[in-house]
Structures are given as structure tokens and as C-alpha cells.
């Protein structure tokens, strides 16, 4: 167990490791926020059916996720670049929204086909949404990692991979 913790600390001390941990935490926060919104608007308040509730929750949760990822995970500050940051983020978010909408529709159909009580239907919607978020998580990390970071690699004279220094710009 100690070896695993030591390895995790060594990974966290690298720029990419720190980004990955922070991106993961932002994902956990935004997923929890989105699921809480689904639970409230669909499960408790019954404002909308499954699909509009998931769309609402995803759109609302995407706004703080963008800023948390940009500023905390990738350390960017200043004005966002529309073409290099905002547009690609929202395109990735729309892809996630499309998959979440599909899973919400599936959850709705599954719940109706099995005549589930509203509470059980809410759980099915939340689990389906969670599965969609998990599926897209790695792909979005790879996309966002390219959008928000600018890393220059400076190899030392020895030229080994272990001695490559990453410098943020």
C-alpha cells in the first residue's frame, strides 16, 4: 500500500499528474452537482420528464466545470479564447449531452417498460447518466488537456525520458 501511495505522489508531482488529479476532482464535483440537479428537478420536484431534466442538469453543471477545469486543473487565467478553448469545450460538452440524452431516453423507456415507481425510475436515470459521464471522462480529459495547456519540452543533454523537463507557458 505504501508503494502505491508513493507512486501516486510521484505522479501528482508531475504537471500532467497534477492536471489529471485536478481534472478528476472537477469531474467528481460536476458529476455530483449534475446528479443532484437530476435528483431535485426530476426526482423530487418532478418539473420535467427524464430527458429535459438530464439536459438541464448537464448544461447547468457544464458552466462551473468549464471554469474549474480552465482555472484550477489547467491553471489558465485571463480571458478565454473563443476558438481555442470555449468552442471546443462546448462541443465536447454537447457530445456528452447527446450521450446523456440518449441514456436518459433509454432510462425512461426502461422504467416505463418495467413499470418502475418514480423513485426507481429516478435511480435508473441517475445510474444511466453516471455511466454516460464515465464513458466520456477519458476522452474529454484528452481533449481538454490539449485545449488548456501549452507545454514546451526541454530535453537535458542526456536526453532520457526521465530527465525531460516540462515548462508551462
Angle formed at CA 148 by CA 75 and CA 60, multiple of 5 degrees: 90
Separation CA 34–CA 39 (nearest Å):
9
pTM comes to 0.75
pLDDT of 147 reads 66
97-118 mean pLDDT: 94
Comparison of pLDDT for 37 and 162, the residue scoring more: 37
23-51 mean pLDDT: 94
66-73 mean pLDDT: 91
45-56 mean pLDDT: 96
pLDDT of 148 reads 66
57-77 mean pLDDT: 91
Cβ contacts of 19 within 8 Å, gap of 6 or more: 73, 74, 145, 149
Mean pLDDT score of the chain: 83
Which has the closest alpha carbon to 22: 148, 133, 122, 121? 148
Percentage with pLDDT > 70 across the chain? 85
Q: Give the model confidence (pLDDT) of 128-165 as tens digits.
A: 988 888 888 777 777 766 766 654 434 443 343 443 34
pLDDT of 2 reads 86
Question: What residue segments make up the domains of the chain, in order of their start?
Answer: 2-168
pLDDT of 165 reads 40
Amino acid at each position: 500500500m505504501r508503494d502505491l501511495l508513493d507512486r501516486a505522489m510521484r505522479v501528482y508531482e508531475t504537471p500532467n499528474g497534477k492536471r489529471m488529479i485536478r481534472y478528476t476532482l472537477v469531474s467528481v464535483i460536476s458529476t455530483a452537482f449534475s446528479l443532484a440537479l437530476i435528483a431535485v428537478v426530476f426526482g423530487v420536484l418532478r418539473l420535467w420528464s427524464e430527458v429535459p431534466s438530464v439536459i438541464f442538469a448537464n448544461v447547468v453543471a457544464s458552466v462551473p466545470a468549464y471554469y474549474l477545469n480552465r482555472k484550477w486543473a489547467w491553471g489558465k487565467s485571463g480571458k478565454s479564447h473563443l476558438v481555442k478553448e470555449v468552442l471546443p469545450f462546448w462541443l465536447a460538452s454537447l457530445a456528452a449531452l447527446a450521450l446523456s440524452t440518449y441514456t436518459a431516453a433509454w432510462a425512461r423507456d426502461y422504467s416505463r417498460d418495467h413499470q418502475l415507481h418514480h423513485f426507481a425510475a429516478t435511480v435508473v436515470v441517475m445510474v444511466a447518466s453516471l455511466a454516460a459521464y464515465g464513458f466520456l471522462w477519458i476522452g474529454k480529459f484528452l481533449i481538454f488537456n490539449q485545449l488548456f495547456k501549452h507545454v514546451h519540452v526541454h530535453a537535458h543533454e542526456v536526453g532520457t525520458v526521465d530527465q525531460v523537463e516540462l515548462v508551462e507557458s
